[in-house]
Structure 1
Amino acid sequence: MTLLSRVLGLVRDVVIAHLIGAGAAADVFLFANRIPNFLRRLFAEGAFSQAFVPVLAEYQQSGDINKTREFIGKVSGTLGGLVSIVTILAMVGSPVVAALFGMGWFTDWMNDGPDAHKFEQASLLLKITFPYLWFVTFVALSGAVLNTIGKFGVMSFSPVLLNIAMIATALFLAPQIDNPDLALAIGIFLGGLLQFLFQIPFMKQAGLLVKPKWAWRDEGVTKIRKLMIPALFGVSVSQINLLLDTVIASFLMTGSISWLYYSDRLLEFPLGLFGIAISTVILPTLARHHVNREGDSAKSAVDFRNTMDWGVRMILLLGVPAAIGIAVLAQPMLLTIFMRGNFMLNDVYAASYSLWAFNAGLLSFMLIKILANGYYARQDTKTPVKIGIIAMVSNMGFNLLAIPFSYVGLAIASAMSATLNAYLLYRGLAKADVYHFSRKSAVFFFKVLLAAIAMGAAVWYYVPEINQWAKMDFFMRVYWLVWLIVLAAIVYGATLILLGVRKHHLLTKN
């Protein structure tokens, strides 16, 4: 399901690139789209799940289904009430939101500059896209509940509906109106609604569809609140950095936000397919090991460490070849996937520079998802917050140093701050004797790196020059890209086998 979601996400981006390219309209829509995307990652893949799942595990451990149902009702009622207020205020005050995150456009609007229209259009689109926050809150809640009882497919399929809605509005609604970016914004709203409705029958089938109830002072809600507030910051530093990049990009040349978006989207494919998926799967297991520590603390600690080590090995197995593959195939992938309609060859070159910069931090972005779980499963949110503050401040400093490199500098700064974030998260776990990178994993990493280098060399040898690639028709580009990816997989897999990697190296006892 996760693969289907990511593939449809790429199809959606192809449609967007064809429709609005990387010009002013694209910058405005992608700006308005970034807010709900930030919130989706914050809730569905971030702070809410990190805070909610460990507490829910405690209720489920008690074996009292009625208390669990009551707890879910109180959480949904309290969180839903708060988010309703925030959503309404944001819709009414959308110009304030647009001014806050698009300061460059707001400055032009105040001074009748050339980008004044971007601010006005962004304010309008935010009124349409912001209700996605309300929908995604309940989607995240129900998805977290269903994940804890082993129904991972529901949450994995949910983003598919958003992608379908956006593709449909782009194909059928956009040609009927003057502003295609308005049609895409409506697609976000409809996609959120579909995601919300999709969860309901599965919650009902599990016997966990309950009436929301406001309970701000409830013990369980209070515990989640205390865990979630710092976690909102700690687990989402990379996303906060992207928002800060958006603010700075609003001062840069037209197309900067779009180029950063398209390159980030290609990077999100392996990050979402591997990093977030593995993180989502191991969090309930880590939380369960932590809850079980009262029975056999020594065994629980070993199980916790083994699960963390397995997660890191899986990230290395998939992340290292992904990073090398993207480095070699950045321009061919951008050209094959996006270059059509209003997305031109110069946009391919521009986006490839920021993709290379982002790609330098891919492994760090993926490791953050795993390492952060080592804290949140133990209900420790203070340490990631401290680390997050350091990483975010560092990112600001890196942004200033990278100003001469324009939008590419923003991507470089994000990669550097992510690497610092991952390192500090690991160092904290090691100091607390919660997780140490095992000798077994170190040997495994060395073999993975050698195999990935061999893979990259083979692909680099066969890949055509970009000018030749641009002259090919679409089907020939797809043929070459698929052939190179298959070649990469064969070389990588064969080299791993020659180096002695076997199935048991990929397994965990837990």
Structure 2
Amino acid sequence: MSERAQMTKAAGVVGGATAISRVLGYVRDAVMAYFFGTSVALDAFLVAFRIPNLLRRLFAEGSLTIAFVPVFSEYLEKKGHEEAMRMAGAAFRLLALILAGLTVLGVIFAPQVVMVLAPGFAKNPDQFTLTVLLTRITFPYIFFIGLVALCMGILNSLRHFAAPALAPVFLNVAMIACVYLFFSTFEPPVISLALGVIIGGALQLALQFPFMHKKGFRGWIKGPLNHPGIKRVAVLMGPAVLGAGVYQVYIIVGTILASMLPEGSVSYLYYADRLTQLPLGIFGISLATAALPSFSRQAANKDMEGLKDSFGYAIRIIMFVNLPATVGLIVLAQPIVGLLFERGAFGAEATIHTAQALIYFVLGLCAISGARIVVSMLYALQDTVTPVRVAILSLIAYLAFSMALMKPLLHGGLALAATLSSALSLALLTYHLRRKIGPLGGRKILKSVMGSLVASLGMGAAVYVFAHFAGILAPGQVGSAQLTLWTMLCIGAGIVVYIGLASVFCKKEFQAMWRLVGKRVKRRG
């Protein structure tokens, strides 16, 4: 199997699992809203769960995986499977010890941690006490998810993507199940939700072990905890953690600025971002995840031509799927927002404002996805400093764009600022990558992107005409059943039109995707 084929296949696996997880995430949120509403207890849980979640984002899933994969891949290619597994076993044991210690400290100092992150809760002793209790219950989640992140790096490097990608599904299922099963068992009932987090984390880790064993991982194989490979991972991980921290600052700054705008602005941006994250997770992040092991293997072998070829292919595929998603979400922004959220207190005005934010957000979908691919390339080349520098510059640009746009465009200005800063990030990252390894095949990429853009615009025009005829482009014109039917029909029609146009204007990318789908259909048949 060529690197292109393996990358495409892996992206399909990760994207499919991500789609399942995101759908279950919406179900989980609906269950939480049904059982707990907007209660003090739910506020306490959200703060408690935010603490291990923040540590997960900073140290585990993102930074650990992207720092581990290039080093582990190099050991696989140059020193063999046995030595790579010796390094992996040492890393697993060392990480388990560190995470166990961190968990114990988190449980002991939970009151102090809650006081820092939610000082306002101190005014209500009952709420503060509950938050501390829930923090102590949920904190061990960081132990499980940190080890899952390491397993993800090992398995992805060995070309297995399904188990790590499906892991979040188990968290959502566990949380949903625990609420239904134990809601009446505990007092207060929100403890059932916290219990679901711990069970979900344990299930996520347990899922990895059979596949790790099948791939030859033996945690008991002797290997020094100060293994030189682990030291290199730690060096790469430092800037990665800093980069993840910059992203968290992005979120905090956006929330602060939105709070200065008219009431509802924070909510409009939240719901619009949730919708943007769906195609980003299914297409952008999944392909970046699948590409990192391929890039790392080629970089370890000093195969620069093969690396450039894989990079160009990844960018062309990401644009092939994200451009129609962008155009489709812009045309159907209001029907989609109305279909998913317009009920109860979420009225037609909220639909209009959320749709405006969605349009501005999805304009940056291709830039964000493209930047993820470039970052994967830089990490494969073991350059973790450049992404951090670019992230800091992008944050400064986001602040400048926000201050300039939030007054005339309100919350839409903040969404557009995020898009513009993402475009700047992609440009800067690509510039540095080109300086590092030379020409990237820009003409071939541009030709492919233009073909995908033409096909996407044609699809957008067809969907607009269809949606206008159906009367669903403005909120409140049709009932919920009709809105659901016509929106689904519009999406289906758009897919058919895009397939037809793509087979003409971007044949190579269309054929690559078609071959992948054809192989899967034959295999299942």
TM-score strictly above 0.5: yes
Superimposed CA distance per residue, residues 178-222 of structure 1 (whole angstroms, 9 cap, x where no aligned partner): 877654444333221210111112212222030398966431111
Distance 2:23 2:257 in 1: 26
Counterpart mapping for 1:226-265 below 5 A: 226-234=235-243, 237-246=246-255, 259-265=268-274
User: Of residues 54, 77, 100 in structure 2, which corresponds to 1:84?
Assistant: 100
1:447 equivalenced with 2:456 (yes/no): no
2:351, 2:31 → 1: CA distance?
A: 13
1:356 pairs, out of 359, 368, 380, with: 359
- 1:407 and 1:247 map into 2 onto residues whose CA distance is 12
Q: Among residues 359, 370, 373, which one is paired with 2:376 in the alignment?
A: 373
State yes or no: 1:490 paired with 2:506.
Answer: no
Q: Is residue 2:37 matched to residue 1:60?
A: no
Gaps of 5+ in 2: 1-12, 514-525
CA contact 1:339–1:345 (8 Å) conserved in 2: yes
Alignment equivalent of 1:211, drawn from 217, 220, 243: 220
> Take 1:90 and 1:248, find their aligned partners in 2: how far apart are those partners?
31
Q: Displacement of 1:99 after TM fit? A: 5.7
Q: CA deviation at 1:502?
A: 3.8
Does 2:91 correspond to 1:75?
Answer: yes
Structure 1 gaps, min length 5: 294-299
Please give the residue correspondences for 1:80-229 in structure 2 after superposition, counting only pairs within 5 Å: 80-94=96-110, 97-98=113-114, 106=119, 108=120, 125-174=134-183, 183-211=192-220, 217-229=226-238
> 2:334·2:475 contact (CA, 8 Å) conserved in 1?
no
Q: Could you tell me how far apart the structure 2 residues matched to 1:269 and 1:80 are?
A: 32
Write out per-residue CA displacement over residues 225-252 of structure 1, whole angstroms, 9 at most, x where no aligned residue: 0011112233674454224435666788
Structure 1 residue 336: Cα displacement:
2.3
Aligned position for 2:520: none
d(CA) in 2 for partners of 1:438, 1:151: 31
Matched-pair identity in %: 31
Deviation at 1:53, TM superposition (A): 0.9
C-alpha distance in structure 1 between counterparts of 2:101 and 2:290, whole Å: 32
Once the two structures are superposed, the pairs formed by residues 23-42 of structure 1 within 5 Å of their partners are 33=49, 36-37=52-53, 39-40=55-56
Partner of 2:425 in structure 1?
Answer: 421
**Residue 136 of structure 1: how far off its partner (Å):** 1.2
SS of corresponding position for 1:9: helix
Q: Is the 8 A contact 2:87 2:223 kept in 1?
A: no
Q: Secondary structure, in 3 states, of the residue corresponding to 1:137?
A: helix
Matched, 1:433 2:442: no
Offset from partner CA, 1:22-74 (integer Å, 9 cap, x none): 95767765555555555555566522121111111122124544422321122
> For 2:440, what is the secondary structure of its paired residue?
coil
| Distance (Å, rounded) in 1 between the aligned partners of 2:155 and 2:506 | 38
State the partner residue of 1:287.
296
User: How is 1:284-363 mapped onto 2 (pairs within 5 angstroms)?
Assistant: 284-293=293-302, 300-339=303-342, 348-349=351-352, 351-363=354-366
**Which letter does structure 1 place at the counterpart of 2:87?**
F
| Structure 2 match to 1:297 | none
TM-score (norm 2): 0.81
Three-state SS of the structure 2 residue aligned to 1:46 is helix
Q: Distance in 1 between matches of 2:44 and 2:474?
A: 29
Structure-2 change in CA distance of 1:456 and 1:258 (3 Å): same
Asked if the contact 1:166–1:188 (Cα under 8 Å) also holds between the matched residues in 2, the reply is yes
Is the 1:264–1:358 Cα contact (8 Å) retained in structure 2?
A: yes
CA separation of 1:414 and 1:30: change in aligned 2, threshold 3 A: farther
For the 8 Å contact 2:397–2:421, the answer to whether it is kept is yes
Q: 1:308 to 1:143 in 2, by over 3 A?
A: same
CA distance in 2, matches of 1:260, 1:31: 20
Which amino acid is the alignment partner of residue 397 of structure 2?
S
Distance of 2:278 and 2:394 partners within structure 1 = 23
Contact 1:313 1:506 in 2 (8 A): no
The yes-or-no answer on 1:472 pairing with 2:472 is no
Shift of 1:264: 2.3
What is the Cα-based RMSD across aligned positions, in Å?
3.6
Show the counterpart of 1:10. Answer: 23
Change in 2 beyond 3 A, CA 1:313/1:427 = same
Partners in 1 of 2:311 and 2:111 — Cα distance? 44
Distance 1:302 1:65, change over 3 A: closer
* Deviating more after overlay: 252-261 vs 8-17: 252-261
Q: CA deviation at 1:307?
A: 0.5
Letter matched to residue 66 of structure 2: Q
Aligned counterparts of 1:248 and 1:305: Cα–Cα separation in 2: 40
Q: 1:89 to 1:462 in 2, by over 3 A?
A: farther
Q: Which residue of 2 aligns with 1:276?
A: 285
SS in 2 for 1:432: helix
TM-score (structure 1 length as normaliser): 0.83
Q: Does the C-alpha gap of structure 1 residues 3 and 176 become closer, same or farther in structure 2, counting only changes over 3 Å?
A: farther
AA in 2 matched with 1:460? Y
**Matched AA of 2:500:** A
Query: In the alignment, which residue of structure 2 is the partner of 1:296?
Result: none
Q: 1:462 aligns with which of 452, 463, 466?
A: 466
Cα displacement (A) at 1:363: 1.5
What is the CA distance between 1:343 and its match in structure 2?
5.8
Q: Say if 1:17 and 1:341, in contact at 8 Å, map to a contact too.
A: no
1:325–1:456 Cα contact (<8 Å) kept:
yes
Q: After superposition, what is the alpha-carbon deviation per residue over 1:352-379, rounded to whole angstroms, capped at 9, x for unaligned?
A: 3443332232222211210001111011
Relative to 1, partners in 2 of residues 1:198 and 1:243: Cα closer, same or farther, differing over 3 Å? farther
